[in-house]
Amino acid sequence: MSFAFLHTEGTNNKNKNAVIINNFLRQPGWNNINDVELIMYWGKNYELKDLFIKPVTLYNCDNCIRQATIFLECSYVHDLNLMILSLNKFQEHCTYLLISGDDSAHNCKVTLLTKIIEIVPMAKYMKGAFYAIEKYHTIPLNTQKRTRFILSNLLTNIQENETLFSTLRTSSDSIKDALKTIVNTLFEWRYELHEDKSFCILKNLIFNLLWNLWYMEFDTLRYQGKYQELFIFLSDKIRNLILNTFTKKYIELGFKYESSTSQTFLPTLPLTNVKQDIAQNSSKNYIQNTNEVHAQEEIQQNETKEDIKQESNNFIIHKNTFIY
């Protein structure tokens, strides 16, 4: 990870910053960073527990900040990987519907694009979280021209693609062309994520197991007579992935979002005084940021449900697994 951390840490931080970082590391959300085996920093391997062995002081504050940033970045790598793999499965299903001549291919495309757009606010919060932590470092990464955050390229690209996907969602152009654009974009995202994964040692992501569990749940619902299109089912699953990441690794880490400046801040008071307000304010802001895409999806799903047949005999699910 030398390209991201070229500078030396010979300057001591300030006591007030050490207090803030110490409070930050006491947030309950750190218990949710359980998908990172270890990180590599300054030629050494660190487990998450190493971050909490000693209290934060002005002498080790910069080191704690950088480790905390890397652990959170790597955990976000894990979550984004899961989201992108899920979107790939979603795209495969839409492509199958199109090839088979199913009338619901258009609705599948629109719902898929809605899910992709819902990731954009998450990308903004992720980048804001990194900036909020690094703000207290004597040499913040975001102020350096020759260094970058893990995920910085991917998160930037996700945000820059928002207009493209919004246009595709409302366009009446070819479904095939839209799906081709989605395939190419997801491929680029996966490539960038693969580069970022090389800087973390993650616990095994057993996506195929998760997919099989989703399929079993979907099949059980159909057996119980609760019929719905697979893409609506997948839409709910992906939304849960996004909201789960936001709740466990943003709200419960104590991050505060200021809507007037679109900036994220660390809690500056002890945990017991701000935990409830942080959760309430952060949830409110996230919901405001995703209101439009949720409204569009609800309209689309209602239109789709009207066309669903009681039993889709020609409905086939691809069970081919990915190898990444």
- pLDDT tens digits along 19-72: 999 999 999 999 999 999 999 887 788 999 999 999 999 999 999 999 999 999
- pLDDT tens digits along 77-131: 999 999 999 999 999 999 999 999 999 999 999 999 999 999 999 999 999 999 9
pLDDT value at position 268?
74
| CA gap 244, 193 in Å, rounded | 20
Q: In whole angstroms, how far apart are CA 310 and each of 167, 223, 315?
A: 33, 12, 12
DSSP letters of 216-243?
A: HHHHHHHHTT----HHHHHHHHHHHHHH
**255 Cβ contact list (under 8 Å, min separation 6):** 125, 128, 129, 132, 264, 265, 266, 267, 278, 282
DSSP letters of 40-104?
A: EETTEEE-GGGGGSS---TTTHHHHHHHHHHHHHHHHHHHHHHHHHHHHHHHHHHHHHHHTT-TT
pLDDT band at 170 (very low <50, low <70, confident <90, very high): confident
pLDDT at residue 287 tops 70: no
Q: In whole angstroms, how far apart are CA 118 and each of 113, 170, 306?
A: 9, 15, 24
State pTM to two decimals: 0.80
Contact 1, 74 (CB under 8 A): no
For the segment 206-234, the average pLDDT, to the nearest whole number, is: 85
pLDDT value at position 146?
67
pLDDT at residue 225 tops 80: no
Please report, rounded to a whole number, the percentage of residues in the chain having pLDDT higher than 70: 79
Give the CA angle between residues 166, 171, 176 to the nearest 5°. Answer: 105
- pLDDT tens digits along 226-271: 777 889 999 999 999 999 999 999 999 999 999 888 899 997 766 5
DSSP, collapsed to helix, strand or coil, labels residue 198 as: coil
pLDDT band at 12 (very low <50, low <70, confident <90, very high): confident
The larger pLDDT score, comparing residue 22 to residue 320, is at: 22
pLDDT at residue 313 tops 70: no
pLDDT band at 195 (very low <50, low <70, confident <90, very high): confident
Please compute, for residue 247, the number of CA atoms within 13 A of its CA located in the half-sphere on the CB side.
Answer: 7
**And the tokens for 77?**
């790598």
